[in-house]
Amino acid sequence: MSLVVDAHVEVRRANQRSAEHQAVQLLASAVVLVAAFNVIPVLLSVLGPRETWNASSTLERWAVGLLWISIVYVVYAFYLVQIPDWSSIRVVALVTLTVTSLHAALAGLRLLVAGGNWLTQYLDLDGNRFSSAQEAGWCFIMVLLTGSLSYAAGRYSSRWSRAAGMRR
């Protein structure tokens, strides 16, 4: 019986980073930037002028949803930095693709559904300071941003996984 041991050891300086890890950090930074961009309508709504301002006023449901999506983005960016691997990038690509689908559905909702619908009332979209055209336009911008981010992450994950398979 023979035993084969692969004794290949790669030595790097402590401060030298591989190209993969630099790309992962760039991708995580892009995810955080998209999360920050996602919060802009909430900030405009909260910081804008209000006719009736009282201390008990709360955020609308759409604003809370956007804040949750941004929190999810920041958590996955942190996850990406903590576990820099092609599979982590693929998970981030799937999460951003899911959020892209939500933004596309919301854009379609604002363009096709008249005000007073039960879903627009539930999300508090009828009484906010933005028009439905502004909301749909912002959703299309977010579809482009998050869709591009998802595509880039998926493509890079696919290339990295093929390259890792060839090295074995």
* pLDDT score recorded for residue 117: 78
* pLDDT score recorded for residue 12: 57
* pLDDT score recorded for residue 61: 83
* pLDDT score recorded for residue 57: 61
CB-based contact 113:2 (threshold 8 Å): no
d(CA 3, CA 101): 51
Model confidence at 22: pLDDT above 70? yes
* pLDDT score recorded for residue 161: 87
d(CA 22, CA 30): 12
pTM assigned to the model: 0.79
Q: Give per-residue pLDDT as tens, 130-168.
A: 888 888 889 999 999 999 999 999 999 999 888 877 665
* pLDDT score recorded for residue 16: 47
* pLDDT score recorded for residue 8: 67
* pLDDT score recorded for residue 10: 64
The identity of residue 97, as a single letter, is L
CB-based contact 109:119 (threshold 8 Å): yes
d(CA 29, CA 133): 30
* pLDDT score recorded for residue 55: 46
CB-based contact 80:31 (threshold 8 Å): yes
* pLDDT score recorded for residue 9: 66
Model confidence at 121: pLDDT above 90? no
Q: Give per-residue pLDDT as tens, 49-100.
A: 666 555 446 778 888 889 999 999 999 999 999 998 889 999 999 999 999 9
CA 120, 34, 74, 97 dihedral sign is: positive
